[in-house]
């Protein structure tokens, strides 16, 4: 009896302490919010290399696993026959897999930049040098289409003059010099970013080399301080999160690469200008669900409209067909099962995360919201099962009330 009373007082004390701590935290958030944000940002800046390292390790892990399981461990099994050297084989295989993955990544990066960057520079130079010709052609087309009245012709000519004057002033006033100045001012930020990436890569090597050991240590700590059933649920949720993020991002990258290549080949066949730069825009923006195709197609169509309005119309028709093929054939084949969200929740997650974190939020918003949705859905199912109520939402469509005594569902007649 005495022990129960002591436990009761301990529980009260813990509750009071947690309540007081929550009130103190709330006070600082309300009245010292700026200081807290600055402190959080300072800590985040210090931990940036570790964050970069975790992200790089997560992205490199599938490639490292591929070389580790399918190439080097098989070769080493044939070379090293001694069963006592198993750990040595594993370490050698992991080291070679990390080296090969890094080499492949660097080669792909250098190849892409060596092909894409010069073409983009040439396209921009051509665009700037011929901008007056393109605008003149666009004006003539607009006059043919909408110039039936004197007022329409005057409106088009006046605005054409304003646009031409603005662009010429911008280009002649040292626009390229301004770009160079901006790049020069941002050199410190660029060097800091490269520093974080390099340190992050080194950290990722350590993580990937001993990832099994790190995972084992984390599990040991968790099972030491928390109940087994709670940790089992946490680990199950972590595996689900990993599968959602891995399948979504890897699948989206492959899907966007295929869409970009199809766009490039098709534009070259249709003899459209700026094929590479537009295909890069379409491929990159395709990573963003739902809004991505529109974000990439609109500026590309405007660019083509300036050069040749007819080709802009053809491009929009082509993009519409391409997105239908991607949404119904390519995407489902690569991504496999759907993300588990309806169109409404996809749109909701894009607007919320996009508003909070910009473009990055639009990219990561859907998988994060899908995970949150799954967790909440699992919690609802467990609570309904405890109350012996049905899980299917259709069972509640015409529900009037649940009988308090029998627990049966009573429907509207």
Q: Which residues of 301-340 are buried (b: 16+ CB within 10 A; e: fewer)?
A: bebbbbbbbebbeebbebbeebbeebeeebbeebbeeebe
How long a stretch of residues is the chain? Answer: 413
Q: Is residue 87 part of a domain?
A: yes
Q: Is residue 83 part of a domain?
A: yes
pTM: 0.65
**Helix or strand (DSSP H, E) at 391:** none
- Residues 300 and 281: beta-carbon distance below 8 Å: yes
Give the CA distances from residue 33 to residues 21, 30, 36, 46, 377, in Å, rounded to whole numbers and listed in that order. Answer: 16, 6, 5, 20, 33
Range of the domain at 407: 338-413
Instruction: Write down the pLDDT at residue 293.
Output: 78
User: Do residues 347 and 201 share a domain?
Assistant: no
User: Do residues 79 and 24 share a domain?
Assistant: no
CA atoms within 13 A on the CB side of 300: 31
User: Do residues 115 and 53 share a domain?
Assistant: yes
User: Do residues 197 and 88 share a domain?
Assistant: yes
Per-residue pLDDT of the chain (413 residues; tens, 9 = 90+): 545 555 555 556 667 777 777 777 666 666 665 666 677 777 877 888 888 888 888 888 888 888 888 888 888 877 877 777 777 888 888 888 889 988 888 888 888 777 777 777 777 777 667 666 666 666 666 666 665 566 666 666 666 666 666 656 655 555 555 555 655 555 666 777 788 888 988 998 888 888 888 888 988 888 888 888 888 888 888 888 888 777 787 788 888 888 889 999 999 998 888 888 888 888 888 888 777 778 888 888 888 887 777 888 899 999 989 888 887 777 777 765 556 677 777 778 878 887 777 777 777 888 888 888 888 888 888 888 887 878 777 777 777 777 777 777 777 77
Task: Please tell me the total count of domains within the chain.
Answer: 3
Q: Classify residue 252 by burial, with Cβ atoms within 10 Å: 0-12, 13-18, 19+.
A: buried
User: Do residues 49 and 121 share a domain?
Assistant: yes
User: Do residues 193 and 116 share a domain?
Assistant: yes
Instruction: Please name the residues in contact with 248: beta carbons below 8 A apart, sequence gap of 6 or more.
Output: 335, 339, 366, 367, 370
User: Do residues 99 and 43 share a domain?
Assistant: yes
Picking from 333, 286, 322, 277, the residue whose alpha carbon sits closest to that of residue 118 is: 277
**Helix or strand (DSSP H, E) at 91:** helix 86-129
């Amino acid at each position: 009896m005495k022990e129960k009373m002591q436990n009761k007082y301990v529980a009260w004390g813990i509750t009071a302490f947690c309540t007081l701590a929550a009130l103190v935290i709330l006070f600082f958030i309300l009245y010292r919010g700026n200081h807290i944000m600055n402190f959080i940002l300072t800590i985040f800046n210090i931990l940036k290399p570790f964050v970069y390292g975790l992200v790089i390790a997560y992205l490199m892990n599938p490639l490292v696993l591929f070389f580790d399981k399918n190439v080097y461990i098989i070769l080493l099994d044939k070379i090293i026959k001694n069963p006592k050297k198993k750990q040595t084989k594993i370490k050698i295989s992991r080291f070679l897999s990390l080296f090969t993955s890094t080499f492949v990544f660097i080669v792909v990066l250098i190849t892409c930049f060596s092909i894409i960057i010069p073409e983009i520079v040439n396209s921009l130079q051509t665009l700037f040098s011929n901008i007056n010709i393109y605008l003149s052609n666009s004006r003539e087309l607009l006059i043919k289409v909408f110039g039936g009245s004197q007022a329409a012709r005057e409106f088009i000519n006046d605005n054409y003059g304003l646009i031409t004057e603005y662009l010429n002033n911008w280009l002649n006033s040292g626009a390229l010099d301004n770009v160079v100045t901006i790049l020069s001012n941002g050199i410190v930020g660029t060097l800091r970013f490269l520093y974080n990436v390099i340190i992050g890569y080194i950290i990722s090597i350590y993580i990937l080399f001993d990832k099994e050991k790190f995972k084992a240590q984390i599990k040991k700590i968790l099972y030491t301080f928390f109940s087994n059933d709670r940790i089992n649920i946490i680990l199950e949720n972590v595996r689900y999160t990993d599968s959602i993020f891995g399948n979504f991002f890897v699948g989206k990258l492959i899907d966007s690469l295929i869409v970009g290549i199809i766009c490039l080949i098709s534009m070259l066949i249709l003899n459209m200008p700026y094929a590479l730069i537009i295909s890069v825009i379409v491929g990159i923006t395709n990573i963003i669900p739902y809004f991505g195709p529109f974000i990439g197609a609109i500026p590309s169509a405007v660019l083509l409209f300036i050069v040749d309005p007819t080709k802009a119309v053809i491009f929009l028709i082509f993009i519409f067909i391409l997105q239908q093929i991607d949404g119904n054939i390519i995407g489902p084949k690569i991504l496999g099962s759907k993300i588990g969200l309806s169109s409404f929740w996809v749109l909701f997650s894009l607007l919320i995360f996009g508003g909070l974190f910009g473009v990055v939020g639009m990219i990561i918003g859907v998988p994060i919201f899908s995970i949150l949705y799954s967790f909440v859905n699992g919690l609802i199912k467990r609570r309904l099962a405890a109350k012996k109520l049905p899980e299917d939402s259709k069972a509640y469509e015409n529900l009037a009330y649940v009988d308090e005594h029998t627990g049966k569902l009573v429907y509207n007649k």
